[in-house]
Amino acid sequence: MTMQVRMWLTALSFAAVVGLTASASALGEGKEIAAVKKLGEVYKKGKAEDTKKAAIETAKMFDEIPDVMALFRPRNKHGMGWGSTAGKNPATDGLEKKIQEFAKTVPATAVADVDNNLEAASWIGALAELMIVKAPKDAGAGKTKKAWIGYAEEMREASNAFAKAAAAKKGPDMAKAASKINSACLACHGKFKE
């Protein structure tokens, strides 16, 4: 075998290993995202007991809280994205980015995107439910389970307000609800994120 053939075989082997690793990673992320989307469907129905049961089951898929939080990232960073239909700008096609954007103003084109808005609101509510289930133990300095759950409940309630405003196509009310979601996130990060 010539040196050139060996180099090509090595390169192809390496590419195959990288491809398999990436595929396995994407499948894992896809499974978690699919589970949160399913939880979002249960959450949308508004039955608290069913949502709680589904959240407890879904939470078993996540080892740690950062695994849940990662789903707020843009779709191209393995997050959930903003609804099922991908946005035009990959950098802002994520729950966190859109909430930050909408907390300032909700463009008319975004108000008209009712399906994605409602879907994203249900995902935020579902993630809030997961955060309640995955609440950390008390760690001192105000880092209590009660405080954590309080922030998650604020986010959940604001996601409900966002969904209501989105269904009514009321941009100012969507912005107000997005601001409340963002405030709950920032307050929680300020206390718990290190």
pLDDT of residue 5: 46
Closest CA to 83 of 28, 182, 91, 74: 74
What is the per-residue pLDDT for 141? 86
Mind listing the pLDDT tens digit of every residue in the chain (194 residues)? Answer: 565 545 444 444 444 443 433 433 333 458 999 999 999 999 999 999 999 999 999 999 999 999 999 999 999 999 999 999 999 999 999 999 999 999 999 999 999 999 999 999 999 999 999 999 999 999 888 899 999 999 999 999 999 999 999 999 999 999 999 999 999 999 999 998 86
Element (H, E) at 36: helix 3-44
| Type of residue numbered 26 | A
pLDDT of residue 142: 86
Contacts of 33 (CB under 8 A, 6+ apart): 71, 80
What residue type is 11 in one-letter code?
A
Determine the pLDDT at residue 62: 94
Q: Tell me which residue range forms the domain holding 80.
A: 3-192
Token pair, residue 150, equals 């309080």
What six digits make up the tokens of 97? Answer: 């980015």
> What pLDDT score was predicted for residue 170?
97
**CA 118, CA 78: separation in Å to the nearest integer?**
20
Work out how many domains the chain is built from and give that number. 1
Torsion of CA 191, 42, 33, 188, to 10 degrees: -10
